[in-house]
A and B are shown apart, each in its own frame.
Chain A
Amino acid sequence: MKVLIKKAKINDPASPFHNSTKDILVENGIIRAIDSSITEPADEVVDIPNLSVSPGWMDVFAHFCDPGIEHKETLATGAAAAAAGGFTTVMVLPNTKPVIDTKSQVEYIVRASERLPAQILPIGAITRKTEGKELAEMYDMHASGAAAFSDGLHPMQSSGILLKGLQYVKAFDGVILQLPDDESIAAHGLVNEGIISTRLGLPGKPSIAEELIVSRDIQLAKYTDSRVHFTGISTPKSVALIKEAKEHGVKVTCSVAPYHLALCDEDLMQYDTNLKVNPPLRTREDMEALRVAVAEGVIDCIATHHLPQDYDAKVLEFEYAKDGMIGLETCYSILRTYLPQLQEERIVELLSVNPRKIFDQPVSINVDQKASLTLYQPDEQYTFAQKNIASKCNNTPFIGKAFVGKVAGTVYGKKLSLNQ
């Protein structure tokens, strides 16, 4: 099986071909040749105008709901959604049924993903059943392929257990992911606490619930000299705390969800349940500050927070609707559309270079390397539609939105995925 990609601008700072426009030949999943003009016959020829190619993108926080919640997503539909969004590697949440808290659960995902068009890396639970009480068998899960550890949608509340967890993963230089949220503050909050929540008569969740955990976990990371990755950072204060910690050499990194860069609480005036997410959409000022932090480099990467919810979980009263938004398919277009000031190189850093560095999943565009490539058209304009969604669920407010920047497809090993 040969795939020939014609005239693609290579965007890979680690590659000798960086910033040059080349043809790339992939044979049986391996990059065989990179040259100005390759004429060798191939099974598939990809010839798309104004095409860029970068090392495959990696998402560090997506929910594929498999096993146990397959009516929302499966590993297969999730991988298809990843490929449609340009991601060749996805770290998936442990909040399945059962929870990913043992070797066999990790192996199920690793094995099932072998035949899929994207690499799926399980995030193992820190504690059994993500109950926040007893440490799960993280050595065993790490050895079986868990890429990082987190209790996912149930952020670790106990300082004591998290401290032990951070010490425990040091043995293999592991990373603990935390969705920072102090659940004892405004446990019933549905949206960001502020002027909008007050006007809408919806219970609010204050920023401080996030910032307290960021602050605490920085202290724990410092004390244990272990690695923490915050995801879903949504306030300028969190950004400032992380920035300061990094300057002091604390091993913290962070990611933001695309929707926190595109939307704010002012968009909630019609009680659209697709906008019910956690952490909640913050204020316009928060959103704008976050955009600046992404551009300036304090934010290490973008995490899609792809959280599929079926029709019945979203088409009901706001209070009863489930949290989350699908995010893989729209991620790149959101960045291009809402942050037009971002340089292409910075986008590749956010989507590929940094997450792959933090979670130790290197890829490179060079001869004899395994193919993990994302193909995209930075200036292509299109209207996001139902047909662009490969996920099982449609819970996104972006259907009908005019976007700049389109993903053309991916090559992951022997698998070529092309969007329409």
Chain B
Amino acid sequence: MQLSTKHLLGIRDLVPNDIQIILDTAAQFKEVLQRPIKKVPSLRDVTIVNLFYENSTRTRISFELAEKRLSADTINFTASGSSVKKGETLLDTVNNILSMKVDLVVMRHSASGAPHFLAKHIPAAIVNAGDGINEHPTQALLDAFSIREKLGTLQGKKIALLGDIMHSRVALSNIYLLKKMGAEVMVAGPPTLIPKYMQQAFDVHVEYDLKTALEWCDVANVLRIQLERQNQVLFSSLREYNLQYGVKRSLLDNLNKEIVIMHPGPINRGVELDSDVADSKQSIILQQVENGVAVRMAVLYLLAGGKTIQN
């Protein structure tokens, strides 16, 4: 079992077989995580640096936990309170860290393409933990894992990505992955938050009406309004956003089916998702988080050229 790529820069670069391998490996790790002793020695003597140039809670903890469960040595780095504040370039920072013999780099960065840039200049394997508005591949993998767990397959399923598509790296990675695995994809949200060439670029359905999207889909993956990434006014107010595009109990109750609700977190409660939906039994949001650790273990394990998963 080997991936066709040395890095995980994005789902864009993966072939369906890679995705299959990662999801299957993740299933094995999920089983490991149910045991009383959750730690395996697979990445003993592998050193991983978690480079977070942008804030993160979930992803960072999830990666760190995955690394620890695999017995890797980890170093954490955040841009605030580091040499970045003193003006050091990304390449210098990484080369300095690598000179201390680091094998793998997990990086989150606010600029699209930053991990691709790094991959051209450093020898270590890179896992993209989110770059700008481009990709967040491990999120898409854990979303796919969670859908597969819930519905048995991705093939032929109808997945709607709702909300801020334009600023969402989760959306792009999900689209790449779901299309590669044979699912049908719709993006829905206000026209100002959906890139103009979405349909031509990905052959996905584009919808501006939330109710229509919910009626169409099997799974609604509700995306976070990226308040921190809005550098211009793209909608009038959070109140109006919630009225038009917030996923509400009443909307779901009027559907003649039960759809699965997902969210990559962190949730803006009362904006894109109401609490009585987020916390309902239709929601698999916390399972997504749980699966995140197993999926990230699989990715790190496969990229580190892992030996067999030991008991």
Interface positions of A (Cβ within 8 A of B): 187-188, 190, 193-204, 206, 270-271, 273, 312, 315-320
Residue of B nearest to A203 (CB): B133
- A186 CB to closest chain B CB (Å) equals 9
Q: A201-B132, A316-B117, A317-B90 are in contact. Are A193 and B196 (CB under 8 A)?
A: yes
The stretch among B106-114, B282-290, B301-309 that forms the contact with chain A is B106-114
Find out whether the CB atom of A199 lies under 8 angstroms from the CB atom of B89.
Answer: no
- Can you give 14 A-B contacts (C-beta < 8 A)? A193-B196, A193-B197, A197-B195, A198-B195, A198-B197, A200-B113, A201-B112, A203-B112, A270-B120, A271-B116, A312-B89, A316-B89, A316-B91, A318-B117
Contact partner of B232 among A187, A190, A201, CB < 8 A?
A: A187
Residues of chain A within 8 A (CB-CB) of B12 are 199
Residue of B nearest to A316 (CB): B89
Q: How many A-B residue pairs have CB under 8 A?
A: 79
Residues of chain B within 8 A (CB-CB) of A312 are 89
- B163 CB to closest chain A CB (Å) equals 16
- B8 CB to closest chain A CB (Å) equals 15
Residues of chain A within 8 A (CB-CB) of B196 are 193, 204, 206
Number of interface residues of B (CB under 8 A): 30
Residue of B nearest to A272 (CB): B120
Residues of chain A within 8 A (CB-CB) of B138 are none
Within 8 A of A (CB), among B114-134: 114, 116-117, 120-121, 131-134
Residues of chain A within 8 A (CB-CB) of B169 are 201
Find out whether the CB atom of B91 lies under 8 angstroms from the CB atom of A315.
Answer: yes
Find out whether the CB atom of B117 lies under 8 angstroms from the CB atom of A198.
Answer: no
Q: A188-B231, A199-B12 are in contact. Are A318 and B197 (CB under 8 A)?
A: no
A202–B172 Cα distance when bound, in Å, is 11
Find out whether the CB atom of B231 lies under 8 angstroms from the CB atom of A201.
Answer: no
- A375 CB to closest chain B CB (Å) equals 38
Question: B200: CB under 8 A from chain A?
Answer: yes
A199-B201, A204-B197 known, 13 other contacts, Cβ within 8 Å: A187-B231, A193-B195, A195-B197, A200-B113, A200-B134, A201-B113, A202-B113, A202-B132, A204-B196, A315-B91, A315-B121, A316-B90, A317-B90
- A254 CB to closest chain B CB (Å) equals 26
Find out whether the CB atom of A204 lies under 8 angstroms from the CB atom of B195.
Answer: yes
Residue of B nearest to A317 (CB): B111
Question: B135: CB under 8 A from chain A?
Answer: yes
Question: B193: CB under 8 A from chain A?
Answer: no
Residues of chain B within 8 A (CB-CB) of A271 are 112-113, 116-117
Residues of chain B within 8 A (CB-CB) of A270 are 116, 120
